[in-house]
A and B are shown apart, each in its own frame.
Chain A
């Protein structure tokens, strides 16, 4: 008996080590580890915000946002040699000034994608009683939207890109065909868009986070881009765009605000009723930005320019005359341009002029990607291709009417398509769309439409893309660089 008692003590002592796995799971003293993250609703929200921040930082570190405006080359560059190189398609020679070569590195885009992938994977598993199923679904859908948006954006920059959809996958992936990537995004958005909110209760979130409208607008854009490359299916894509455009209008969330001297600034400051998807940049929240078009197109008294009241770049009169025929009134010409026909450096492009600090030349308006007028014109374009001329002209005139321009009265077909294109060029100037519109419509080879036109042969070899930095190839032999940039 006594012996068994003693043996009992021994066994107790040995077991006393606590075979408990919990003991081996420790908490780092001063670091947030993966073990302690993904626990609450707040964590999920912070992570999504993190993905937005990474993306925003990518834009604020370079001239990327306005690359779509600069690459056609329709500006007088004066001393801005790095921008001039963009406008001459000498992408390998831009140098690092204003972050002009920063877009060649896609790393940050993929960091945001990796985080979105993590959100998609981890958010459904968060066991927080305050975190309802609908909210989880909405956040996952938001992550999917953001991921699709980034893929769309980088597909337009680089063409084929690696498609990473698993946050833990470290396999070497080759670049996926652009259309496959876009198709993946469309499917992803199709299934998740309904989970997104129509709008947010908190007014500060207007347009700066994923919504149903934003998802639809993204899908419309993807369709139009795909139509430019997949001629066999262009009808399908146009139809889709027209349908999506209608759906956005039917949401009744967005409206065109009047263009007056007082109000147009609020549109381009961001977070207006016209905005569909923007990245938030607000000096009050610690966000401001330097390398944006207004830095070079403005001078005293808007910003301190260092060169005696002169702009560093000005719009070319030739192209102004092409899009704004002389003699026709247009509020956009009146409101957005100062001295447009002067040939010295005094002209200014005033569309973006929310300057927070004239001396450091910082700007804090949102980066606007999709806007109601943009979607209306996109729909008009699709309808024009589909020969639904009446509806197309109606759309076109919605935008022209707001700008106080005379309404379009011509017929359908090519003239209508050209009119819609010109309208987009005018309306979206400075919002980074022109280069991509030129590519997808094939107008990129039109020597009259842009200074930096590309021959079909150049297009074929990928001259429209950005060069891909060496870092992308370094640890992955499967990634090849675009043929045009490596010879």
Chain B
């Protein structure tokens, strides 16, 4: 009975896979032999023997290098061992095979794609890090970027939002920007996005989001749409030489993603399927119910002026109910925070079909992921299909084509995606009953019912033709077209939007045509062995890039009904896309206005190496772009690099412990276009006419600057690569000095020019640092099934220094009107600093407050008339100018939102069929402003405010659990925090718990366990043979496992790029995944 079922199932699978299998005519024979090292003639144990056609293991050599395998005589087999060149043999009649393997360093022979050219790593002088696609599996994240965290030294990724479909910040070698957008908790640094190249096609990092601020529009970027299962490798290029050929967009580094290609004579079907559960994080500590009532009433009693004052306060409509504890309507303990979160069950599926040989190969990858967010009404679904076909009809001609299509569907719920999610603010007091059939809560209802659907449709195709026209001389042409449609449909019901419905629709079209034509020439005086000849590689190409972004917005308010989502027409009054109303080029919804961009570039590259020992790389690229100032549309990007593989020197060859060793040094200049036609030529706008005639005036906000130049960066890099003890230890070290100059800043003009500001070049930031990656294999068992341990650690130290501001100014303060947490730009310090009052403790007693010896009065909280003298329980704010009054002059530059050190720490263990990998990341020395807690503590001084709106004390209404705080309670207390409430009237002026003080600033160092994966590889099971399963593995992954930090907020990573912890930020969810991967 059972067996019959199994047969049925097998036949079903056979039908499914569509593969037909013939019975083997050949009889397997037994083959014996020995594998030896070519130099030492010693036997090599643990060499894997593989049947190439079926990609299946046949056996392993024993400790003396001997092997016995059973195989059909017509098979081709391969001997593989780490650190040796693979040896492929066709089995003829022989029954005894003696094989010699020659040592070779794989990591140097690895092909990398630099400047659109495939080269072996050992001749590349630039700093290139490679991440294998294998390291990006087993965890279904919504954006592959999350998985790159901690994998490459110098690539700093902070997943500062857990919102599905969105992404965090990414920067290569420190910040290279000075501009800040947003304010308060939501102040963001302009992006430092590297250039993204997918399968040799440069694409926009954010797809349709051209907004650099991380408050994105409808669009979903390309990295979120690529399934990790389809990734072959990701290369990260950090220095100027590696990025030189990418021209004007390479100044922030380049990330090259290569997807898988077919490479198997028999078709391979890979199926990967997993289910995963997202768990909300720990909620913020809150007191509710009776504790809340007690706190509020006690606080009012303690801090009011007198009894009459208490009566007055408690008689207000919004506080009256506090005293009504017998009324069951007002006697609840509702957990509002929890109402916004959910645990979700999701799924991730990927099927890949591939096959072919070098003459023709194909691949199709289909992926589907459903990822519901831990905040209600948010989530991300994606579907993608990536098809690739490569042909080589003759030796001279190669043709490749690819079509990628994807649909990303994002639900943003009530928030902006990254911020403003509302769940951090519990909207009302816990004393009120929770939402039920009879009692609604407008905010929560709106939160659950408001619609915000964002769809991105992406098509990207390319055709690549390469033809050898004369010996060694190939011409090639690559053309790609990338197209996005982004739509957003948002509808807010009237009760959640100030009593007016709001229908907002957005359509964005973004397309990019890129075509590259070139010639390349390669010559070697000794083709057989490059290590014995002079090798030259040269190429010249031109590149044309045409990009446009066309955005339309409709915004209709005051609709007739909460269920009538219309009319979807045009509302001239609230039409934010209307550029005439839009002074800053950015409409009110944060999406930029449409643009067209043209670029034409010419590049030349020459690489020469002598016996692959000494290499020289020279590159030059000239970029013309419509985004440069009209007076100088061209920018030059030259670079030079040297590499010395010193292990190839005869002297070094004798060192048996040295596998390889090389020294690299490069220098180059990159640029980044920043001007737009608008800031180089000015904008004119129509205004109400004069005397009934048309009137047009310039946009007086920005004066055109026709001589604007691109931002530039020059970079020096020095690196060492070392492989020691037969690949047991591999070390990569890089040090760099990168000068970002010509940075564009707003220069404010005297108002007698009529204009407000002009964008000028003149800012400069220097970044320098060290990067170190060490991979070690402390335990290598000769038998691949034995216990193996690989550990890799990487770390990058980066220091940024602001070296120049336009016009020779030394200091610039970008004032934060909301929290007074301004950002200081001071030449000679880190690019951005906080600007706060220094808190030196808490006054234990009023007698501790310093007294002005001249006037005999205490230090007070304000300069000028009016007096609120400091008293016991107030923070000791440093009086920098010694005038015994706290004023603007007492602000201090402090802190640095950029981390000093970032890195990763990874371990992989395997034994028999089980493998365990643990990926960790860490960050050291970063200042975070813990506004999430500070705002809630600040709010505690107003116990009488019970509704979120209608007061000026920003912050959530739920009460912070003060028992967790070490605050001053009575005279004589030694406490780290000031009194929560001194007295209402005192605090109004002194604001002991204000946000603009160093008390709020904390160190955000952390160590995070990103991912733990336990996998089981099924081997040699009977059912696998019957199901024709080549590979079957099952895995369990825990993602976002733990965060170790002294930071008092919930998560030091989910803060903005300027280190502001926004209580309404989207928290990072933890997830548990169970998945199966199978290969047929």
The complex places the Cα of A42 from the Cα of B748 at a distance, in Å, of 32
Name which residue of chain A comes closest to B476, CB basis. A13
Contact between chains at A47 and B696 (CB < 8 Å): yes
Contact between chains at B751 and A471 (CB < 8 Å): yes
Q: Which residues of B contact A475 (CB under 8 A)?
A: 748-751
| Interface residue B332 (Cβ < 8 Å from any Cβ of A) | no
Contact between chains at A50 and B687 (CB < 8 Å): yes
Contact between chains at B475 and A34 (CB < 8 Å): no
Interface residues of B in 991-1031 (CB under 8 A from A): none
| Interface residue A194 (Cβ < 8 Å from any Cβ of B) | no
Contact between chains at B681 and A111 (CB < 8 Å): no
18 interchain pairs (CB within 8 A)?
A9-B469, A17-B544, A17-B601, A24-B633, A28-B595, A29-B548, A29-B595, A33-B681, A35-B677, A45-B694, A47-B696, A50-B697, A54-B697, A115-B754, A170-B703, A173-B752, A472-B750, A475-B749
Contact between chains at B596 and A26 (CB < 8 Å): yes
10 residue pairs, one from A and one from B, having the closest CB atoms: A114-B754, A476-B750, A17-B542, A34-B681, A50-B697, A34-B682, A280-B691, A49-B695, A29-B594, A285-B692
Contact with B along A159-187 (1 / 0, CB 8 A): 00110100001101100000000000000
| Interface residue B698 (Cβ < 8 Å from any Cβ of A) | yes
Counting chain A CB atoms within 10 Å of each CB, which of B597, B598, B696 scores highest?
Answer: B696
Q: Which residues of B contact A25 (CB under 8 A)?
A: 626, 630
Q: Which residues of B contact A51 (CB under 8 A)?
A: 697
Contact between chains at A114 and B753 (CB < 8 Å): yes
Contact between chains at B688 and A114 (CB < 8 Å): no
Counting chain B CB atoms within 10 Å of each CB, which of A29, A31, A164 scores highest?
Answer: A31
The complex places the Cα of A86 from the Cα of B475 at a distance, in Å, of 80
The complex places the Cα of A474 from the Cα of B577 at a distance, in Å, of 32
| Interface residue B400 (Cβ < 8 Å from any Cβ of A) | no
Contact with B along A45-82 (1 / 0, CB 8 A): 11101111110100000000000000000000000000
Q: Which residues of B contact A360 (CB under 8 A)?
A: none
Partner of A209, one of B469, B518, B691: B691
The complex places the Cα of A440 from the Cα of B695 at a distance, in Å, of 36
The complex places the Cα of A476 from the Cα of B748 at a distance, in Å, of 9
With A30-B593, A35-B677, A162-B752: A46-B694 Cβ-Cβ less than 8 Å: yes
Counting chain A CB atoms within 10 Å of each CB, which of B633, B683, B691 scores highest?
Answer: B691
| Interface residue B5 (Cβ < 8 Å from any Cβ of A) | no
The complex places the Cα of A285 from the Cα of B689 at a distance, in Å, of 8
Interface residues of B in 676-734 (CB under 8 A from A): 676-678, 681-698, 700, 703-704
Counting chain B CB atoms within 10 Å of each CB, which of A21, A45, A118, A170 scores highest?
Answer: A170
CB distance from B1059 to the nearest CB of A (A): 29
Partner of B689, one of A24, A49, A54, A113: A49
Q: Which residues of A contact B704 (CB under 8 A)?
A: 34
Contact between chains at A24 and B626 (CB < 8 Å): yes
The complex places the Cα of A137 from the Cα of B286 at a distance, in Å, of 74
Given known contacts A30-B579, A53-B690, what 19 new A-B pairs fall within 8 Å (CB)?
A6-B470, A14-B517, A14-B519, A16-B517, A31-B579, A32-B686, A37-B684, A42-B694, A49-B694, A49-B695, A51-B697, A53-B687, A111-B697, A111-B754, A286-B688, A471-B751, A474-B748, A475-B751, A476-B750
| Interface residue B1041 (Cβ < 8 Å from any Cβ of A) | no
Contact between chains at A9 and B475 (CB < 8 Å): yes
| Count, chain A residues at interface, CB 8 A | 70
Name which residue of chain A comes closest to B689, CB basis. A49
| Interface residue B625 (Cβ < 8 Å from any Cβ of A) | yes
| Interface residue A27 (Cβ < 8 Å from any Cβ of B) | yes
| Interface residue B537 (Cβ < 8 Å from any Cβ of A) | no
| Interface residue A10 (Cβ < 8 Å from any Cβ of B) | yes
Name which residue of chain A comes closest to B543, CB basis. A17
The complex places the Cα of A53 from the Cα of B698 at a distance, in Å, of 12
The complex places the Cα of A115 from the Cα of B543 at a distance, in Å, of 40
The complex places the Cα of A114 from the Cα of B701 at a distance, in Å, of 13
Chain B interface size, under 10 / 10 to 19 / 20 to 34 / 35 or more: 35 or more
Contact between chains at B698 and A476 (CB < 8 Å): no
CB distance from B549 to the nearest CB of A (A): 8
The complex places the Cα of A387 from the Cα of B1058 at a distance, in Å, of 75
Contact with B along A273-296 (1 / 0, CB 8 A): 000000010101111000000000
Contact between chains at B697 and A53 (CB < 8 Å): yes
Interface residues of B in 627-684 (CB under 8 A from A): 628, 630, 633, 676-678, 681-684
Contact between chains at B684 and A53 (CB < 8 Å): no
Contact between chains at B695 and A31 (CB < 8 Å): no
| Interface residue A479 (Cβ < 8 Å from any Cβ of B) | yes
Q: Which residues of B contact A172 (CB under 8 A)?
A: 750
Counting chain B CB atoms within 10 Å of each CB, which of A13, A18, A476 scores highest?
Answer: A13
Partner of A24, one of B598, B696, B748: B598
The complex places the Cα of A113 from the Cα of B682 at a distance, in Å, of 17
Contact with A along B543-561 (1 / 0, CB 8 A): 1100011100000000000
The complex places the Cα of A352 from the Cα of B747 at a distance, in Å, of 45
Contact between chains at B688 and A53 (CB < 8 Å): yes
Counting chain A CB atoms within 10 Å of each CB, which of B600, B751, B755 scores highest?
Answer: B751
Interface residues of B in 722-775 (CB under 8 A from A): 747-755, 758
Q: Which residues of A contact B542 (CB under 8 A)?
A: 13-14, 16-17
Q: Which residues of A contact B625 (CB under 8 A)?
A: 24
The complex places the Cα of A47 from the Cα of B698 at a distance, in Å, of 9
| Interface residue A205 (Cβ < 8 Å from any Cβ of B) | yes
